[in-house]
A and B are shown apart, each in its own frame.
Chain A
Amino acid sequence: MVDDNDDLRWLKAQRPSVEPPDAATTLWARAAVLAHAEQSQQLPHLVAPTAAESRPAARRGLARFLRGRRALAVAAAAAVVAAAGVAAVVGIPHTSDKGLVNSVPTAQAKTLLALSSRVLAAPAPPGDATLVQRTTTLSSRQSTGADLYLDNGHYYYAPTVAGLHDATGVVDYDLKPAIEAAAGVATADPQTARAAFLQAIGSTLYPKVGLPDATRAQQDNYIWITAIDALGAAYGRPEVLAGMLNVLATIDGLTVAHDTYQGRPVLELTLTAHVVPSSPEALRAEAAKATDAGIRRKLLWAAKQRDSHPEAPYTDVETPTLNDQTGALLVYQDDGGGPQAVAAGEGVAVTITYDVSRVAAADYGLR
């Protein structure tokens, strides 16, 4: 039957199909806007928006990158790398603490693999969802967030646990491919686990990066940022958490230390990234070679940023702390760029404390 609005329905149906923006593009665009804001306002330093600290976990990875001026450079550089597949600008130093030496786990890696085995052997806590309550402290500001990850892939967010009862808008969490990939490598040897995990996240979360063929430092970086975001969601799902730990055990330069936190034995994982921003000349050279117009523009944009804001190499230290027995994520700390290259007051450290638990989604009226 033809009615008065058939032309509008036809027009709507003709709208070109567009995939949602991927993480790298979003990261690049956000960094571009904030860099512009910084330049326009000549801010002494740039701090992530207050709301960023409490926004859904789906965006936490981005928020972490956008903590400060130094991190902004990483964001732009990482986005360019992600988009163009050029040489890494974010490097993790190769040290004698490599996760694997000729496929043989080092002491650091063995500690993680042992935790992986413990997690896998322990009975799974009851429930069909993982609740992650976060408190983020950034500068003097503090904010909270509650993430509910259902085992069926659905995700809900509210600033507080109480708010979850009113949460609406079922979406699958964006880390779902990483969760599924980790579950598939729970009992694999580390090398096999790494390869399978990279293949999975490379084709789903970071399709523009060419991850399987990227340098080891690039691969390590993507494993790290993905795993850190997924560790909270993985609690209570032994296969997922065990698989994630297997993959983390392959990262070069990762140190693992036994410690205590609030009286409990914990493992402190520490990764120091040496960030070497590309020079404007290098970026322009890459732009000249780029065949994709969009990538060329991004590279030229990044080069222009570097003309006016040259970036010196710097280090960034991230330290997640896990329960030594259950693998539950307890704390995440970032030094905000480290004292080596950061002028007083320029870097912004962040601490996130977690309370993770298994729950029944039905208790929140969610499914």
Chain B
Amino acid sequence: MPDDSDAAVIARSLADPELFGELFDRHWPAVYRYCRSRAGTDGEDLAAETFRLAFDRRATYELDRPDARPWLLGLATNLIRNHLRSCSRGTRALERLAEAGSVDDPTDTIIERTEAAQLGPTLAQALDGMPSRDRDALLLFAWNDLSYEEVGVALNVPVGTVASRISRARLQLRARLAELGCRPEQTGS
């Protein structure tokens, strides 16, 4: 384990907690950008909360992973998901879906209003109907340049599960884009 790796910093921070500031300095911009991308201005607080949570959980960090970015983005993803769900709870549409018993957890396949507002109408429509676990895997992969292995670390699932989630998500995305009349090669919003 190189002395300057994230894992080494985390290990040292167990005895010397203020060293955790070094991990913050390294990854704050990336975590901030990811949280803001998915949750708008609320993402600022979620990014800060990610590091607070990371500090509390640093003893469980697997030290054979030198780069902590996937782990931090995974913590951020969970916070974002919980935040978006809490924002949407109680809406009439969700209640109706729940009463109809169409899905176990209606928030699982619905782009919540908060997220939709942040993502913009085109992207929100393209991702709507995609289970959140698949959406999370896809966005971690596409927006953060994580490998399948790193997405697995972030979401705490095996790499095979990541592959199937991303594959399923991409099939759904392509189909949705076709329905919406969007050509994938059109990169403008």
Contact = CB atoms under 8 A, between A and B. Distances in A.
Interface in A18-45: 18, 20-21, 25-26, 28-30, 32-34, 36-38, 40-41, 43
A185 B179 CA distance: 59
A264 interface: no
B151 to A, nearest CB: 13
Contacts of B184: 2, 6-7, 9-10
Given A29-B28, A33-B20, A37-B17, A14 B170 contact: no
Nearest to A3: B185
Contacts of A34: 18, 20-21
Given A14-B123, A294-B44, 20 more contacts: A8-B141, A11-B138, A14-B126, A14-B187, A14-B189, A15-B37, A15-B142, A18-B32, A21-B28, A28-B48, A30-B24, A33-B51, A34-B21, A36-B55, A37-B20, A43-B18, A49-B21, A50-B22, A52-B21, A52-B25
A134 B37 CA distance: 37
A37 B185 contact: no
B22 A16 contact: no
B47 A29 contact: yes
Nearest to B19: A49
Interface of A: 1-2, 6-16, 18, 20-21, 25-26, 28-30, 32-34, 36-38, 40-41, 43, 46-52, 55, 59, 66, 292-294, 297
A55 B24 CA distance: 13
A37 B58 CA distance: 11
A19 B44 CA distance: 12
B122 A14 contact: yes
Interface string B3-47: 000000000000001111110110011001100110011101101
A33 B48 contact: yes
B113 interface: no
25 contacts: A2-B185, A8-B142, A10-B177, A10-B184, A10-B186, A10-B187, A11-B142, A15-B143, A16-B36, A20-B29, A25-B44, A29-B47, A33-B20, A33-B21, A33-B51, A34-B18, A34-B21, A36-B52, A36-B55, A37-B55, A49-B19, A49-B20, A51-B25, A292-B41, A294-B45
A10 B33 contact: no
Contacts of A292: 41
A367 to B, nearest CB: 25
A297 B29 CA distance: 20
Interface centre among B32, B37, B47, B186 (most CB of A within 10 A): B32
Interface of B: 17-22, 24-25, 28-29, 32-33, 36-37, 40-42, 44-45, 47-48, 51-52, 55-56, 118-120, 122-123, 126, 138-139, 141-143, 170, 173-174, 177, 182-189
B24 A33 contact: yes
B12 to A, nearest CB: 9
A49 B12 CA distance: 11
Nearest to A9: B187
A42 B32 CA distance: 27
A40 B51 CA distance: 13
A46 to B, nearest CB: 6
A293 B42 contact: yes
Contacts of A20: 29, 32-33
Which of A13, A30, A37, A52 has the largest count of B CB atoms less than 10 A from its CB?
A37
Contact of B55 (A40, A46, A293): A40
Contact of B119 (A6, A16, A36): A16
Q: Which of A10, A41, A292 has the most CB of B within 10 A?
A: A10
B189 A47 contact: no
